[in-house]
A and B are shown apart, each in its own frame.
Chain A
Amino acid sequence: MKHCRLSFRTLGRHGFLAITTAFVIVPFIWMVSLSLKPPEEIFQASFSLLPQSWHATQNYIRAMTASPLPRFMLNGVFICAVIVVFQILICAPIAYALAKLRFPGRHVFFNLVLVSLLIPSQVLALPLFILAYQLGLLNTYAALVFPFVVSPLGIFLFRQFFNTISDDIVHAARLDGMSEFTIVWRIMLPMAVPALIAFSIFSVVGHWNDLFWPLIAVRSQELMPPPLGLMAFKNEDTGIDYGPLMAGSTIVVAPLVLVFLLAQRWFIEGLTSGGIK
């Protein structure tokens, strides 16, 4: 009797989760499915997951050549890498100072970080657009990067992590004659690798996926990151030949999904660390 009830429960559990899983995953499956099909099958009223005649090569080649998609991808990698390197270079030292040093103005500095943490980036778009215009940065790589070189969230997370590192380690390093700068890079940051990875994932995913700021900052196709490039491709691609468009979308989404499947725990930790925001 009890066994019957248990297996009924298990069945109900998997049944419910199968439905929500379908809701979540159908867009991904549909995207890949359409990217394999020739136009005439996409227009067919009936649907099947796999194409009758495979059109994958044509669609993916078209996506890679009809628009500068490889260029968009390289732009994305370049922009994300530059942003995250700047963020770490700038956030780690200030986080160390806030966590381990005592100096006048420390509370003012920390409150500055907290206030900045409250400000949504979209609010900054208009003034930063004007600033970029004044400096002649619009439509350059610099325009895509400069608003993000400092991250209040990065400072906050690093400071939190540095706080958990014992002061004794810092004292020992000082007695060894290390300078404070060396301590930040050689002692603190290597110990803060978990925070570093979580923050880097948060930053890279956010900027790889960002559409809002690139839309404002650049016009030339050569500078576009993947989401903006994909939109440009969609706009010039007349009609509803979804095949190449879906191939392009798959190429843009795939890197993050693949890395996510390899490093789920880090991803989930990194992306929810923004939850404090």
Chain B
Amino acid sequence: MRDRLTTSMRASHVLALIFVVAALCLAAFGAATGDTFYLRLGTEALIFAGLALSVDLLLGYSGALSLGQALYFGIGAYVSALTLMKVPSFWLAMGAAFLVTLAAAIIGGLIANRVRGVYFALITFGLAQVFAKVVYNTRELGASDGMIGVPVIQIGLGPFSVSAASPAGFFLVVLGIIMGLYALTAYLLDTPFGRVLTALKANEKRVPFLGYSVWRARMAAYVFAGLVAGLSGALYPMLRGFVSPELMFFATSGNAVISVILGGVGTLIGAIYGSVLLVILKSIIGSWTEHHLIVIGLLFMACVMFLPKGMVGFVRPRIERLLGREPAAPEPAPPSSATIKSGSAA
């Protein structure tokens, strides 16, 4: 028997597949028509989708609302920018961003995971604001002006090389990385570790009685979410050629939370859909009226009132039902998840 969590994750994967196909069509169409702006806007939406994914990992699984996830996004962006200005190497920048975000997320996790609930939200918010202010006032990091002059790099992928300036090429690279992060997160949540996280959200007090350390699971989720945000952030300066302290401000963290709620909390793919929708809406409505914040706010309220589980939360049960009909046949489920299921279902 397949458990409910696996079925819903499968439904998310179907939506992820639809997303990738749509994105590939867009890339092909954009490349054919020689478009630059929309492909680069799409790339930016994907980068912010990575940040939203990390928020959903915390909010949707361990149940911790982080209001300062832009902290790690910004650290990734700054480290990547600083590295690229010294050595224009894609892999070096990603590696450096990975290591520094890892260290930062461990420190941040040690501080933030001492508390939970609303205090966790406030601590993460405070950490990000403090760090953003420090960067805002540090001349060596460009202070309030940020840093420009991040070179356009060549990304070496085995025998191929893609320029970050090529709209379609870089779009595909970012699509690959973000969907890779999605797949990794989804895989991790399907392991026993992921089930502990789900248990944490359901009833934190009972988890120790089952023999699991609450602190260790929360910490691991926090550090992993930090890394997802940091690696997404590392892509930003490659796209736009600069970093600024605004990337760490609350507006960035807040947009990520809005994306997750629009898309559907705890669905992972919803974070990606939500983020893309938000970036596109902001771009279109922003050109149309200067009261775009009101429009976005109303949409957000309508979503919370009428689609409390978000867009994906609305669509997914239907897909689950479709998927649920299939496995009446003898179950040839992938072996990797089969072992896990027998463990957690016991």
Q: Do A and B come from the same complex?
A: no
